[in-house]
Amino acid sequence: MSEAMEREGSGRAKYPSKVYERELFRLQEELVKMEQWVSDTKARVVAIFEGRDAAGKGGAIKRITEHTNPRITRHVALPKPSDRERSQWYFQRYIEELPAAGEIVLFDRSWYNRAGVERVLGFCTQAEYYRFLRQTPIFERLLVEDGIVLIKYWFSVSDEEQERRFAKRIDDPLRRWKLSETDLYSRTKWVDYSRAKDEMFVHTDTDLSPWWVVEADVKRNARLHCIAHLLSKIPYEPVDAPTRALPARQEDAGYVRPDRSTMTYVPDHAAGVVRS
């Protein structure tokens, strides 16, 4: 790379802004092509984004969906289960979110909650946890054998970088909502989460459905690497866009617009900002 690499808070090199923006836009153009191929071929794609709090999962998903069609590509981030959902088979509420033909679903956290936060914070029993580890490879095999493209990402962030991002969120009024009490408490369980992730990988990192680790200390790099890899795992081909022409507008044919005085308009906020 001819341009000098910049440095992030972690001290690691990151892509320069111009390089990052140019490559991100190119990859987003490819995402639109891939999405159209999925729609036309009636494929079904599921991508799972897991990792520690503040690892950058949401930021990556945001860049993936920035220019895609929300009717085709859906971002799913389920809240904590209701009492009714707790009484169901554990995978049931996730099954309801799986794609139909011609759809892509991006899970911002998924059924792997049971192997992470539920395991570490005691929100499930030992029996439920070990049942999950036994059933998950079978469940995912059923998805893949039914024709769903299943891709699993683990965003890996260091202790120091997570601490830096948490500190920024605490001080930023626009991002405080991203930092819950559970997120803060998770800092006290760092090693427990590490052990839980390691055990999860032992049971669910299979040849049929492997985990792909994204080094996420540098956000720009992580986003580009993840999007490029996602595109490489879907066998899409460019689809010819239909030729369209803008039709002529309908003639007025005597239509008279009501007087502006009969309508209530939103105040001109920008004018006040300029005067101040």
Average pLDDT over residues 107-136: 97
Check if the beta carbon of residue 170 is closer than 8 Å to that of residue 120.
Answer: no
Average pLDDT over residues 244-260: 90
Over residues 191-231, the pLDDT tens digits come to 999 999 999 999 999 999 999 999 999 999 999 999 999 99
Assess whether pLDDT exceeds 70 at residue 67.
yes
DSSP for 4-26, written as a single string: PPEE-TTS-EE--HHHHHHHHHH
pLDDT in the model for residue 14: 85
Over residues 77-92, the pLDDT tens digits come to 999 999 999 999 999 9
135 versus 9: which is more confidently predicted? 135
pLDDT in the model for residue 1: 41
Length of the chain: 276
pLDDT in the model for residue 169: 87
* CA dist., res. 221 & res. 211, Å (int): 19
Over residues 2-46, the pLDDT tens digits come to 444 555 555 568 899 999 999 999 999 999 999 999 999 999 999
Confidence label for 186 from pLDDT (cuts 50, 70 and 90): confident
pLDDT in the model for residue 274: 66
Q: Environment class of residue 127 by beta-carbon count within 10 Å: exposed (0-12), middle (13-18) or buried (19+)?
A: exposed
pLDDT in the model for residue 275: 67
pLDDT in the model for residue 137: 98
pLDDT in the model for residue 239: 83
pLDDT in the model for residue 270: 84
Structure tokens at 262: 């009969």
Assess whether pLDDT exceeds 90 at residue 100.
yes
What integer best gives the mean pLDDT of the chain? Answer: 92
pLDDT in the model for residue 5: 55
Average pLDDT over residues 43-54: 96
* CA dist., res. 146 & res. 45, Å (int): 12
